[in-house]
Amino acid sequence: MIRMIGGEMPEYAEEHPPAGGVLLRHLLDRLPTGIRVLVAGPHDTGLIGALAERRDVTCLIRSQPDAATIPDVTVLCGTLSKLTDADRYDMVIALDGVGRLCSPEDTPLDWAESVRVLARSLRPGGTLLLTVENELGVHRLVDPGTPTAARSADAWRPLGEYGGTPGRPDRLAAALAAEGLPVAALATAWPLPVSPTLLVTPETLGRGPLDALAALAAAAVSPAYAGRSVLSDPRRLAASAVRRGVGAELAPAWLVVAQRATRPGPAVVPLPPALFTGPSGAVTEVVGTPDHGWLRRVVRGWSPALSPAPGDDTEHQPGPSMTDRQTEPLPGGRLLEERLLTAALGHDLPRLRRLLTGWMTELPMAAAGNVLVDGDRYALLDPAVPDQPDALARFAHTLLDGGYHHPWPGVTDPARLIAVLAGAAGLDTVPETAAADGPPGRREQEAQLDALRQRLADAEERCRFFEIELEKREAELGRAKTQIAAFSGNLGYRAAKAGLVLARAARNRIRKGRS
């Protein structure tokens, strides 16, 4: 049922995808049942449907065409400020943030004002589940575009980083507390605000297993930017931010659980230290142990087979019956890809060979971005990621396309670099080649352009060098030919030649005598 509350957009459908994804679905599935929920802003209809199974759900949507696509729940179609406090909810969910709640018919509301309106529709003790985009998040830092120059139809007030959204987790918590919404739980969200695949709490980013978390952050951003133009490789930025201790500040978004007035007991939406999902769709949480260790536990939809047997097309259906099946220590150590790059950049050839050999011995089918190395131990970061038979070749492309320094600077042909790496890894045969994805970002593109210019200049200079060499050799050859002719010619030729020499000598004498 659609209720027009005023200020709706009859001709406009949202241009960008709504909030959604497996991880958010997992969180929402675990909400208490039987409660009244307001879902504010664009959310995936599957997400809304799942929520509505055992809860009373109302949606707030500004776009009339989009409102019509939401089945079986009450939809309030209109702009945020038309929301009255006549209806109060146990929970308000705004996983798309507050940026797509106001229509052009409304007085534009800033972030704090929007939150205030949402808070008003909460019952005392009610919970706000809110995503706050970080205007200086990794996703912004690698984006060639900027919201302040957005060309989309809803960019009628594109403030971007000039807006008033809090810029740090602690400031966000303070701002919400000032609105009477103390924060019960907060997590950084990666790789994109509306569809996170990794949630990590700031406390975990402060004291947790940083190397593994950096690896998870890199693994999270990798698929999110595949095929998209970026300024620089987002995997490196995300991983270094986490490893260097600024992960919470540079996360693309923060997911916050705030409650209107405190109430005793744990948060309605508990957030584990870290929660992630990979290409398999399984959801894994990372939890601490009393002895300061870390465990990973699959909590949703586990696909055990790394590589399905030929003909095995059985789909592994995610389901609650498979929860808690796998609990194991979170592997320690750092991402193999980063260790390889560090060794390559440091020209530490012995270490690079050890890493390549260890990798190709222990986990030859795993991508360098899915392996953690701790001393001599190699472990999969996400065991559910499918095999990658061209993993070594892909790493060769990473080196070349990323413009990384490495110990074989003269080798610029991918096939030859793959052969070198295979040799360095102790392989007898050269593995299959991989399709090149091209430079990951514009910075790398620029570096590649510079390198190509240098190679062209070198090649031209080398041409001139060889031309001079060739001239010298031709002159030598000419002299040798004359000598050969002189010594191998017939008697007549030699006599004529001797005569010529004598004649030349006589002429020279006469000339000398004249002068």
Which residues sit at the interface with another protein, rule CB under 8 A? 347, 349-350, 353, 407-411, 416, 419-420, 422-424, 426-428, 430, 454-455, 457-459, 461-462, 465-466, 469
Tokens coding 30: 């675990």
Say how far apart CA 276 and CA 392 lie, in whole Å.
Answer: 26
What letter represents residue 436's amino acid?
A
- How far CA 162 is from CA of 116, 139, 143, 475, in Å, comes to 20, 17, 17, 72
Residue number with CB closer to another protein (405 or 504): 405
Residue number, 375 or 409, with CB nearest to another protein: 409
- Smallest gap from Cβ 334 to another protein, in A, equals 23
Q: Give whichever of 3 and 455 is closer to another protein, judged by the CB atom.
A: 455
Contact indicator for 273, 203 with CB cutoff of 8 Å: yes
- Nearest approach, Cβ of 358 to another protein (angstroms)? 15
- Closest by CA to 63, choosing from 96, 104, 92, is 104
Residue type, 296: R
CB of 407 to another protein, least distance (A): 6
By beta-carbon proximity to another protein, the closer residue of 75 and 424 is 424
Exposed e or buried b per residue across 359-383, where buried means at least 16 C-beta atoms within 10 angstroms of its C-beta: bbebbeebbbbbbbbeeeebbbbbb
Q: What is the CA radius of gyration of the chain?
A: 34
DSSP 8-state secondary structure symbol assigned to residue 32: P
d(CA 323, CA 488): 94
What is d(CA 235, CA 253) in angstroms, rounded to the nearest whole number? 16
Question: Shortest approach of another protein to residue 335 CB, angstroms?
Answer: 24
Residue 19 main-chain phi, psi, to 5 deg: -65, 140
Nearer to another protein, 377 or 472 (CB): 472
State the minimum distance, in angstroms, from the CB of residue 11 to another protein.
58
Separation between Cα atoms, residue 186 and residue 32, nearest integer Å: 19
Nearer to another protein, 156 or 466 (CB): 466
Min CB(419)–another protein separation in Å: 4
CB of 450 to another protein, least distance (A): 12
Which C-beta is closer to another protein: that of 311 or that of 410? 410
Q: Which is nearer to another protein, 257 or 424 (CB)?
A: 424
Nearer residue to another protein within complex by CB, 380 or 420: 420
| DSSP-H helix ranges across 147-201 | 169-178
Q: How far is the CB of 369 from another protein (least distance, A)?
A: 23
Place of tokens 């929920």: 37
Phi-psi region of 375 (alpha: psi -120 to 50; beta: other; left: phi over 0): left
Helices 442-488/491-514 angle, 10° precision:
100
Q: Name the minimum Å distance from CB 446 to another protein.
A: 18
To the nearest whole angstrom, how small is the minimum distance from the Cβ of residue 359 to another protein? Answer: 15
List the one residue out of 255, 369, 272, 386 whose CA is nearest residue 327.
Answer: 272
Q: Give the separation between CA 228 and CA 230, rounded to whole angstroms.
A: 6
Q: Which is nearer to another protein, 306 or 349 (CB)?
A: 349
3-state secondary structure of 38: strand
Between CA 334 and CA 375 the distance in angstroms is: 9
Alpha carbon distance 102, 336 (integer Å): 46
